[in-house]
Structure 1
Amino acid sequence: MKINDNISIHFLGAAGTVTGSKYLIDTGEKKIMIDCGLFQGLKKLRLLNWDYLPVNVEEIDAVLLTHGHMDHTGYLPRLVKMGYKNAIYGTAPTLEIAEIILRDSAKIQEEEAQKANKEGYSKHSHPAPLYDLTDAEKAIHHFRTMPEGEWLNLFEDIKVRFQYNGHIIGAAFIELDVHGKRFVFSGDIGRKEDLLMRPYKKPQRADFLFIESTYGDRLHPKENLQDKLQKIINHTVNKDGTLIIPSFAVERTQTLMYVIWQLKKKGLIPDIPLIMDSPMGANVLNVFHNHKSWHKLSTEEYTAMCNAFTIVQEYKETWEVIDDRRSKIVIAGSGMITGGRVLTYLQQYVDLPETSILIAGYQAEGTRGRKLLNGCVDIKIYGKYYEVKAEVFEIQTLSAHADQKELLDWMSEISNTPEQVFIIHGEAHAADTFRVKIKDTYHWDCSLPELYDIISVPA
């Protein structure tokens, strides 16, 4: 029963920035959080992860996840630690991905805190992890699976549906009907044509639309992915070098493996060692195996692709790969070079002119990946600076984010005029450029909420 004239929307992340997705819908009766992501990138954003949320966490009734990426799920252990006691909902692959990411994130934070304590490079007297493995497990205990494409009653007069969205395995946009008003959260929208994911579904109605704008100011280049990757690999082999590809463990790693496997199968690159060094990436491969209906790969393709690579599990194996100075291709996490095994490779290889580094995805402001793209002369890893002599390449075609044209296409079947459109999950220029484009294309009024804004809308 409707007892409130207004619904409050709290923008707790990915507002005025591209990271830390968190939105709280307060109906007056229920409080529902959509996504619960970690801030990444600039230090001033990362520091926000240590703050308590400006809401009463114990009063939140449900958390809904659009997909499993860190900037949409990585704050969950903190939320539970602050007193959240209810269910965390997502599609089956999303929850499996989130389990992998949270455990991996907790382990890395524990290891880096121990390393900082031992080697004394932190400014803090007693460096501590943001959360540990116990905190991660407590959050995972709250996970509840939701089907794709079905309306379900969440609470009285509130129903929800998760719809296939491409981007990564398990990703969905969320439709939340509150007293007959439809709130649509785009999450991260995938590509219309993707090597692994099927095309995104489209919303048919939205009274209040929350639309991402990561690439709202640009179109992805029309480059031939196989040709460009082939040239970079062969160029690196010709100088007896190693190609290091920092990669997101979810979907990007699997796509890179697929394309490189295809090049090797066709004889377009030399028969050199292919390494996938990401425990998280290896676990994500199992999610692909468990949820075949969510992606395009056949069982035969999946098996052949995996067999073409040496999949590194233990850290001691990383050093065996490093000590083998033959030309090779190494795919290693993390995608923005903010942590993970790729840091160990860069410590050993970034100062060698024969090394190539391939940036294959979006790099948030303040990350090592963005700095490499901007031509930095050195990078800081674990308190020490390393001179950059490696060649740095970039491929934008692999982005799992829709570009401006695809974002507009995703909205194209909304039959009504939304009461409000909130442009979120984008850096300032991208978001504002997209605001103008939506206005010119659909004549919808849009707003650009800032972090911690509270906006009231009619129920």
Structure 2
Amino acid sequence: MKVKFIGAAGTVTGSKTLIESNGVRILIDCGLFQGIKPLRELNWQPLPVLASSIDFVLLTHGHLDHCGWLPRLVDQGFKGKIYCSGPTKEIAELILLDSGKIQEEEAERANKEKYSKHEVAEPLYNVEQARKVFPHFRVVNENKPVPLDAEISAVFINAGHIIGACSIELTIENKTLVFSGDIGRDNDVLMYPPTKPKKADYVFLESTYGDRIHPDTDPKLELETYINNTFNKGGTVFIPSFAVERAQMIMYLLWQLKEEGKIPDMPYIVDSPMGVSAFDIFFENRKWHKVSLEDCIAINKMFTMITDYKETIDTIYNKRPKVVIAASGMVTGGRILSYLERYISVPETTVIIVGYQAEGTRGRKLLEGAKEVKIYGKYYPVEASILEIEGLSAHADQKGLLNWLSVLENKPAKVFLVHGENQPADELRIKIKEVYGFDCSVPLMGQEFEL
């Protein structure tokens, strides 16, 4: 049996891990690379094996860095099945359609305004190619074995990261391989704690926050303070947010603050067609999260939900103070860019960063104090206040990752640390060795191991 690390090795995006056993090929996740240009360019490269030779894709969850390359996989000849939870299928379909649309629009805009280095800019894939993924999806039940081949089966267990997110226990060649996917937090505002694996011969563990402990602060209080300060100076708050889970978490906290009378009466807006649809999925899959039906209905009533871009334009030109939640979470695309084009140079503006910002993304540059930011080929001076609320991460920190390993009844042959930049992954490797004595490895992109 062989494992090959095609993505999310030394970086937090592009998740793709290939398992090969007795002629069967299984791809765990099929994500898009995001961030710095050398990583984004990898999206245009074919896989190191023929897409048509892959039998199954097992999808941990629906975020773009875990499912966003599926249209390319299908376009290059994949004809197999894609297994995932029900909410993951719904979210992945939303995200893929949105991704295809954004890429079509950005290619069109680059051609129109001639800021592409290519003679003709083309999208990585379009909406039609995204739709071709959908017939391959197969929904699985949580905690129930899914037979893949004569002696291969998979069990999907709750990972707590976003709605529908699962870790995967793969039984193959009489060994148990556990793929963490992205692991949520034990004390998450919305999601239930992740289920810890009890047995694993090999573990493939995410390490996004492998070198950090989440601050012991009150994110709700920070949100209250930042909104009131901005309102009092007549400004607007923008919260770039992942449309799935993070947007719903922010909505929930803002609703609580409004119910408690701690933030002002002003427009509270969700401007993300995908975010609006994601709330519907959230609403319909309540067994996956802690929020009651009554609270879901009340939250929905508080927010103006924008899907039509004409409403976006109207909102941009309305000078009244407001709070706007818009994708994308790393400020790499989406409607948040339309707002920031006009507002990033206005000193009264506040931009609140509420999630992980990968290397090379606009969000990361803003957090690192960039004096100007490039949007659609033009540079804008950054005069807005750029603030961060760290306590809202949907990823476990170093303590949480260590805790996730705590109920293993056997010592794994090896723990591979993936989905993290090199320093966090290596610090987590050292910590796991200290605490558990497990043999840990931080694989390089493209590296292959025999198991």
What is the TM-score normalised by the length of structure 1? 0.98
How far apart in 1 are the matches of 2:443 and 2:81?
A: 27
Select the residue among 96, 104, 113 that pairs with 2:98: 104
Q: Where do 5+ consecutive residues of structure 1 fail to align? A: 1-6
Look up the match of 2:127: 133
* 1:189 positional shift: 0.0
Cα drift, residue 195 of structure 1: 1.0
Displacement after TM superposition at 1:18 (Å): 1.1
Q: C-alpha distance in 2, partners of 1:226/1:56? A: 48
Residue 230 (structure 2) pairs with residue 236 (structure 1): yes
In the other structure, the counterpart of 2:392 is 398
Identity of aligned residues (%): 55
Cα deviations by residue, 1:225-256 (Å, 9 ceiling, x for unpaired): 11111100000001100000000001000000
Paired residue secondary structure (2:155)? strand
Unaligned residue ranges in structure 2 (runs of 5+) = none
Tell me the equivalent position of 1:440.
434
CA RMSD of aligned residues (A): 0.6
Q: Does 1:26 align with 2:12?
A: no
Q: Counterparts in 2 of 1:143-154, with a 5 A limit? A: 143-154=137-148
Q: CA deviation at 1:410?
A: 0.7
Q: Any residues of structure 2 matched to 1:174-253 within 5 Å, and which?
A: 174-253=168-247
- Please name the residue that 1:338 is paired with: 332
The yes-or-no answer on 1:95 pairing with 2:89 is yes
Q: State yes or no: 1:306 paired with 2:300.
A: yes
User: Within 2, Cα distance between the matches of 1:225 and 1:378?
Assistant: 27
> Offset of 1:151 from its aligned partner?
1.3
1:290 maps onto 2:287 in alignment:
no
Partner of 2:58: 64
Give the CA deviation at 1:420: 1.1
Question: How many Å separate the matches in 2 of 1:256 and 1:203?
Answer: 30
Residues in 1 aligned to 2:385 and 2:109: alpha-carbon distance in whole angstroms? 29
Distance of 1:380 and 1:94 partners within structure 2: 33
Of 386, 392, 410, the residue aligned with 1:416 is 410
TM-score (normalised: structure 2): 0.99
Q: CA deviation at 1:204?
A: 0.4
Equivalent-residue separation in structure 2 for 1:186 and 1:324 (angstroms): 44
1:362 deviates by 0.3
Q: Which amino acid aligns with 1:154?
A: L
Does 2:10 align with 1:16?
Answer: yes
| Stretch moving more, 94-103 or 221-230 | 221-230
Cα distance in 2 between the residues matched to 1:336 and 1:283: 20
Match of 2:315 among 306, 314, 321: 321
1:40 to 12, 29, 34: 34
- State the distance in 2 between where 1:48 and 1:226 align: 38
**What secondary structure is seen at the aligned counterpart in 2 of 1:48?**
helix
Equivalent of 1:114 in 108, 111, 114: 108
Count, aligned residues: 451
How many Å separate the matches in 1 of 2:414 and 2:195? 21
Distance in 2, Cα, partners of 1:104 & 1:152: 29
Which AA in structure 2 matches 1:329?
A: V
Cα deviation for residue 286 of structure 1 reads 1.0
Of 259, 265, 274, the match for 1:271: 265
Whole-angstrom distance in 2 between the partners of 1:153 and 1:52? 28
* AA of the residue aligned to 1:152: V
